[in-house]
Amino acid sequence: MHFRRERKSGTTVSLQETLEAGKDDTALTLSDVLQDGFCMEDSCEQQDEARRLRQLIEGLPARERKLILLRYGLAGQPPLTQLETAKLLQISRSYVSRLETHALELLREGWGGCR
């Protein structure tokens, strides 16, 4: 491939430049072998799901909402352990576990029962 030679010389290489011809004499271009890894449909779907999840979290009772935000790092800080969350909320770790289980059940119900 002459692409490496071109890169070393510092010249600009077009994505449509032919790298080599295939077995059936079709041209293979740089854009054929590079992937951008971006899919608009997947991105839109992820944004919709994130928006829906934020709405479901906002609908939780205040204590469960705060617990979920802390435990999963959704309030701009790293996720906390159950023990760290318990100390912050001044409740027992076992109560954090029960509240978290309840909050996740509510979120699953709101999502449509998906696991």
Report residue 4 as tokens: 């490496």
Q: Which pTM does this prediction carry?
A: 0.61
**Element holding 113 (H helix, E strand):** none
Q: Lowest-pLDDT range, 1-5, 39-43, 44-48, 73-77?
A: 1-5
> Percentage of the chain with pLDDT > 90?
53
Q: List the structure tokens of 111.
A: 């999502």
- What is the pLDDT, as a whole number, of residue 46? 87
Delimit the domains of the chain by residue range.
3-33, 40-111
Q: Which fold has domain 40-111?
A: Arc Repressor Mutant, subunit A (1.10.10)
